[in-house]
A and B are shown apart, each in its own frame.
Chain A
């Protein structure tokens, strides 16, 4: 039995020059049309979802994965009825609890207590239902001390916790979470994941969107992979994630564009210790990154810099080559280098890799920071796993630590 069903759903957004419509402009365009002239507006349309057919079964936990712009958020917005399809039909069975954004429905002037009532009612719950679960919500959100304080004095984390607690403790039939967990700290993320597992085992249908593929893998049974508004694959999560990360591997190679003389990174591939091309690594595994550049001529003493980020925090890793290390690398307009990281000190999740290039004496910037791809770190494959805990929801940095009982 399905809980959510998309039947030939297409969703188009109108990309308008100005965000707000003005009556004056629309009337002017009507007048132009009437006299046969072309209207001045540029009404490009963007198709967020194209003829999508999809069924999500009752009681399953599904993840929607895909790159930016794949239509993940649009799908969630359609399920939660915030917006309507341009074509086709969306059908949903049961009450939807959606956590589309941090602080949705939280009013800054009102206290935590008032907001629980308010937000709960927006999600379609009665006052009695809310009252019944009030204590649980406050406890989970860890806002006991601030429950009568105006929410405008809350920290982002407190607001997030409150929102998640409300949405998840009011027992929706369908629970939707969009990325918002990324804002919280590690302990809270772990708590949320536990709570979602609990909900899942109680039979709630969960739809989860996240770039943290490790969290997705731990939590979800079903995967839905969207790309540019189309369904690529739906099935068991491990199959979908495998196929999706394979596509990311190919995605790591950059497309060749027009050459305007500016130095560009034209190819970036990653491979593991066995020399296989992949963008998936275990914690502590070695990573080889091959980079190819194209510019307008030779460069003197190029310095290549790498950065790894996880999209939320500051840069996690920055490593650059010394000026003399790649001295004679760029004697021609196209050149290649390799960077090896012996032991990847990162905990399981998705990371973005960035690159920039300096050259000359004194060094000047030849290529600005450019995102060259993403890598995925998996739970450890034997690496220190017997003695060290690695957490999918904890901080990103991993160390190879040994724990022993002192004799």
Chain B
């Protein structure tokens, strides 16, 4: 039973979302199945982008940034894999509701379901890239260590961050397509504002926490650099700072989506 006049109720929304978990799964599977449908190279494309960027970094940035150290390539590669997942998942999540506008007009489902599905649909890409990374990182000069087992932590954080940004943007894009056009610009800028091409110690230590709070990708991306580049553990302070920032964005973003979802079918 439902009551269309009821206001926002977090527990109720989450319970309903849980009962629609099959829908999330379906949205995810549908995206996954159709994504590389008519591409001969298929999911192989998922590994091309981080490798291409890595080549670019090695040829170009190595000279600009200068003293990058022997673990630069391995660390950057790990950060690139994480970055690619976060950026593609955020982009897909943000456009999920507009992409599903046909469904939006015809069927009821919790409006956050396609966003979660779209973000989740990039997890297989991440898994493939990670498998490749296990092979490539030692070749690139990284070290193998037990801390590699910690890798789900930064991944989980990146995943939640992509969702936290994707949820409100997806809802806003239903009303204003402008957000979809602005997003690629934001993502490109964010690449340079994240420790992907450069290690975080390029920045004065005083600013690390501010940086990790302002850009919640910083903690997990730096974590990936530590894990794969240095065989070390992530900086827990930075991880926690980014996680806090992500949590705040997630709560506000979810609330915004829930506030915007009522008239979506009328305006999309």
Residues of A whose CB lies within 8 Å of any CB of B are 13-14, 20-24, 26, 77-78, 80-85, 88-94, 96, 98, 100-101, 104-105, 107, 109-110, 114, 117-118, 121-127
Pick the contact of A122: B1, B33, B103, B178 (CB < 8 A).
B103
B26 at the interface (CB under 8 A from A): yes
- Cα distance A85–B34 when bound, in Å? 35
Q: Interface digits, B18-44 against A, CB 8 Å rule (1 contact, 0 not)?
A: 011011011001100110010000000
Which residues of B are found within 8 Å of A77, using beta-carbon distances? Answer: 265
Given contacts A13-B266, A91-B2, A104-B102, whether A82 and B23 have CB atoms under 8 Å apart is: no
Pick the contact of A118: B30, B177, B265 (CB < 8 A).
B30
- The answer to whether B267 touches A21 (Cβ under 8 A) is yes
B109 at the interface (CB under 8 A from A): yes
| Most chain A CB neighbours (cut-off 10 Å) among B23, B102, B107 | B107
- The distance from the CB of A32 to the nearest CB of chain B, in whole angstroms, is 18
Residues of B whose CB lies within 8 Å of any CB of A are 1-5, 19-20, 22-23, 25-26, 29-30, 33-34, 37, 102-109, 175-178, 262-263, 265-267
- The distance from the CB of B178 to the nearest CB of chain A, in whole angstroms, is 4
Report the 3 A-B pairs with minimum CB-CB distance, sorted nearest first: A89-B5, A104-B106, A81-B108
Pick the contact of B4: A26, A91, A107, A122 (CB < 8 A).
A91
- The answer to whether B177 touches A20 (Cβ under 8 A) is yes
- The distance from the CB of B86 to the nearest CB of chain A, in whole angstroms, is 25
- The answer to whether A109 touches B22 (Cβ under 8 A) is no
Which residues of A are found within 8 Å of B175, using beta-carbon distances? Answer: 21
Count, A-B residue pairs, CB within 8 A: 94
* 17 A-B contact pairs sorted by A residue (CB < 8 Å): A22-B176, A23-B178, A24-B178, A77-B265, A80-B107, A82-B105, A82-B265, A83-B262, A90-B3, A91-B1, A92-B1, A98-B107, A100-B107, A105-B107, A109-B37, A118-B29, A127-B22
Which residues of B are found within 8 Å of A92, using beta-carbon distances? Answer: 1-2
Given contacts A20-B177, A92-B1, whether A82 and B263 have CB atoms under 8 Å apart is: no
Given contacts A21-B267, A78-B4, A100-B106, whether A122 and B262 have CB atoms under 8 Å apart is: no
- The answer to whether B263 touches A84 (Cβ under 8 A) is yes
Which residues of A are found within 8 Å of B102, using beta-carbon distances? Answer: 104
Which residues of A are found within 8 Å of B265, using beta-carbon distances? Answer: 77, 82-83
- The answer to whether B30 touches A88 (Cβ under 8 A) is no
Which residues of B are found within 8 Å of A126, using beta-carbon distances? Answer: 22
- Cα distance A91–B29 when bound, in Å? 32
- The answer to whether B176 touches A107 (Cβ under 8 A) is no
- Cα distance A300–B256 when bound, in Å? 68
Chain A residue with the shortest CB-CB distance to B1: A93
Pick the contact of B266: A20, A83, A109, A125 (CB < 8 A).
A83
- Cα distance A118–B29 when bound, in Å? 9
- The answer to whether A80 touches B108 (Cβ under 8 A) is yes
- Cα distance A395–B262 when bound, in Å? 41
- The answer to whether A21 touches B106 (Cβ under 8 A) is no
Which residues of A are found within 8 Å of B25, using beta-carbon distances? Answer: 121
Which residues of B are found within 8 Å of A114, using beta-carbon distances? Answer: 33
Chain A residue with the shortest CB-CB distance to B20: A124
- The distance from the CB of B179 to the nearest CB of chain A, in whole angstroms, is 8
- The answer to whether B4 touches A90 (Cβ under 8 A) is yes
Which residues of A are found within 8 Å of B262, using beta-carbon distances? Answer: 83-84
Question: Other than the known A90-B4, A127-B22, what 9 A-B pairs have Cβ atoms closer than 8 Å?
Answer: A80-B108, A82-B108, A83-B266, A84-B262, A89-B5, A90-B3, A91-B2, A110-B33, A124-B19
Chain A residue with the shortest CB-CB distance to B4: A90
Chain B residue with the shortest CB-CB distance to A7: B5
Which residues of B are found within 8 Å of A93, using beta-carbon distances? Answer: 1
Which residues of B are found within 8 Å of A26, using beta-carbon distances? Answer: 176
- The answer to whether B26 touches A117 (Cβ under 8 A) is yes
Chain A residue with the shortest CB-CB distance to B177: A20
- Cα distance A77–B178 when bound, in Å? 28
- The answer to whether A82 touches B4 (Cβ under 8 A) is no
- Cα distance A100–B33 when bound, in Å? 26
Which residues of A are found within 8 Å of B22, using beta-carbon distances? Answer: 121, 125-127
Which residues of B are found within 8 Å of A13, using beta-carbon distances? Answer: 266
Chain B residue with the shortest CB-CB distance to A150: B37
